[in-house]
């Protein structure tokens, strides 16, 4: 049986997962011509990558979460809604 992961390991994995999500979302926005939203998601991905490198740093984690919120707002301004099909052509 594998021992449970430490809090540090769990937080690092959380931030790595969000970094991947934001990179993927940035690519989709770029494909749809949403350059501003793509930039915000790229910035959020970088912030989460930094937070993953030092997972117990609350300052970096807070900045990464704020960047996620800003990126999600940019998605909504571009017409993208969570759990809904992407708007326009090339869904």
Segment 47-91, tens digit of pLDDT: 999 999 998 999 999 999 999 999 999 999 999 988 888 887 544
Mean pLDDT of 21-43: 96
Note the residue count of the chain.
Answer: 91
- Kindly list the domain boundaries of the chain, sorted by start residue: 7-77
Residues 30-68 as b or e (16 or more Cβ within 10 Å = b): eebebeebbebbbbbbebbbbbbeebeeeebbebbbebb
**Does pTM surpass 0.85?**
yes
Structure confidence at residue 90 (pLDDT): 47
For residue 9, give both structure tokens. 């390991």
What is d(CA 35, CA 91) in angstroms, rounded to the nearest whole number? 17
Short-list 89, 78, 81, 67, CA closest to 29: 78
């Amino acid at each position: 049986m594998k021992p449970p992961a430490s809090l540090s390991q769990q937080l690092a994995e959380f931030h790595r997962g969000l970094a991947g999500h934001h990179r993927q979302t940035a690519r989709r926005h770029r494909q749809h011509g949403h350059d501003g939203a793509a930039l915000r998601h790229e910035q959020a991905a970088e912030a989460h990558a930094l937070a993953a490198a030092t997972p117990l740093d609350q300052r970096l984690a807070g900045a990464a979460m704020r960047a996620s919120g800003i990126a999600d707002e940019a998605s909504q301004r571009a017409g993208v809604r969570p759990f809904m099909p992407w708007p326009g052509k090339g869904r």
